[in-house]
Amino acid sequence: MNYLITGASLIAIFLLLQCNSERVEKSYKLKLVYENQTDHHLKYQKIHPITLESTILFEIEANSSFEWDDLGYKNGQQFLDDIGYPTQIIFDAVKCVTIDEGTGPNNFVNFTKTGITEFSYTFTESDYQEADDCP
């Protein structure tokens, strides 16, 4: 009986020593695909909320897409927070729409999941029709 208790104790100690209690966080590459399903060239830019300076993040030709996959963020909302707001979409340098925080492509819930770490957002002809003339 003593051998059984000693053996079971040694096995338990061995198993406990083999366990690594360190928490490992994994980072996945996030791929965001912006699809332009309009017949218009599109510029996607952010506007600094204090200086009001604009920075073009990317451009998409008509009926084309843009893939942003070199982010290394742990989640998409972190990326969307980092690109800042408001965001301005410019169609053909003629029509503009300013997107506030939490709407459109500034809110991750508006993206469609197309893979494990791939999401897409689609600009449609109705987005173009709803845009205002640029100042």
Position 39 scores a pLDDT of 96
pLDDT digits (tens, 9 = 90+) for 38-67: 999 999 887 777 777 777 778 999 999 988
Residue 98, pLDDT above cutoff 80: yes
Domains of the chain, earliest start first: 27-133 (2.60.40)
DSSP string, the chain: -HHHHHHHHHHHHHHHHH------------EEEEEE-SSS-EEEEEE-TTT--EEEEEEE-TTEEEEE-----SSHHHHHHHT-S-EEEEETTTEEEEE-TTSGGGSGGGSEE-SSSEEEEEE-HHHHHHPEEP-
Residue 127, pLDDT above cutoff 70: yes
121: phi then psi, degrees, rounded to nearest 5? -130, 135
Residue 86, pLDDT above cutoff 60: yes
114: phi then psi, degrees, rounded to nearest 5? -115, 0
pLDDT class of 84 with cuts at 50, 70, 90? low
